[in-house]
Amino acid sequence: MHIRHTMKARRALTAVAITTGLVLTVAGCGGGGDDKPKSGADTSSAATNDGTDEKPQESQAPADEKVLAEVKNNGITLTVTSAVRDAGGFLTVQGKVTNGTSGIWLGTEWKSDETELSENGGSLAGAGVIDATAKKRYLVLRDTEGRCLCTKFQGGVNRGQTVEWFAQFPAPPEGTTKAEFQVPTMPPAPIEISDGE
């Protein structure tokens, strides 16, 4: 008799557990309105990703970059993106170089002929800024150990690779807004000088 009551109690508990589980399952699956916002969100995100809404921002970023000058020679493309005169009397010229040759480009032809800068190897040590109005040429600045204040292309630039560069010069007078950036083996690149903060 005792076993009979135990079995009835177990069956009752099992029935209650199954019923509770079913009720919770139905409650969780119910509310079909919850699915609509999700599918609506999916639909709107699909509309955003089809290229008609906001996606073009990614492609606009490179277009926003200003190009002051671009010159090419022997498969190398030199792009100047800024030439800023600062309050300390320096001119910082920046840009990119792209290797369109069939191998690694070391930049050795851009080194300086000056003995003091001869240890800089492949770099922008041979660069200069020409102020045609004042008939002056400004050479790359260097530190006390003869290192140029410019980019060194250590290890070279791989085929198809684009790398950023910079070079610092004494700044032309404040009235000078146009000059030419020159690097050995490349045509002169006309640049516009802006004032920094």
- If pLDDT is split at 50, 70 and 90, which confidence band does 112 have? confident
> Which among 46, 37, 192, 162 has a CA at the least distance from the CA of 98?
162
Check residue 11 and give its pLDDT: 58
Q: What is the CA radius of gyration of the chain?
A: 34
Model confidence at 48: pLDDT above 80 = no
Mean pLDDT in residue range 69-89? 95
Mean pLDDT in residue range 55-71? 63
Q: Which of 8-17, 50-59, 131-140 has the highest mean pLDDT?
A: 131-140
φ/ψ region of 121 (left if φ > 0, alpha if ψ in -120 to 50, else beta) reads left
Check residue 50 and give its pLDDT: 47
Mean pLDDT in residue range 23-43? 48
The first and second tokens of residue 150, run together, are 């410019």
CB-based contacts of 33: which residues, under 8 Å, 6+ apart? none
Check residue 71 and give its pLDDT: 96
pLDDT tens-place string over residues 171-194: 999 889 999 999 999 999 999 999
Check residue 28 and give its pLDDT: 52
CB-based contacts of 169: which residues, under 8 Å, 6+ apart? 90, 91, 92, 93, 128, 129, 138, 139, 140, 141
Check residue 145 and give its pLDDT: 86
Check residue 87 and give its pLDDT: 87
Check residue 15 and give its pLDDT: 52
Q: Is the separation of the CB atoms in 129 and 138 below 8 Å? A: yes
pLDDT tens-place string over residues 115-141: 777 777 889 999 999 999 889 999 999
H-assigned helices in 30-184: 35-47, 57-64
Whole-model pTM?
A: 0.66
Mean pLDDT in residue range 159-166? 96
Model confidence at 39: pLDDT above 50 = no
The first and second tokens of residue 182, run together, are 């020159």
Q: Is the separation of the CB atoms in 109 and 127 below 8 Å? A: no
User: Percent of the chain scored above 70 by pLDDT?
Assistant: 67
Q: Does domain 66-195 have CATH number 2.60.40?
A: yes
> When comparing pLDDT for 28 and 133, which is higher?
133
Domain ranges of the chain: 2-61, 66-195
| DSSP at 95 | E
HSE-up (13 A, CA, CB side) for residue 95: 24
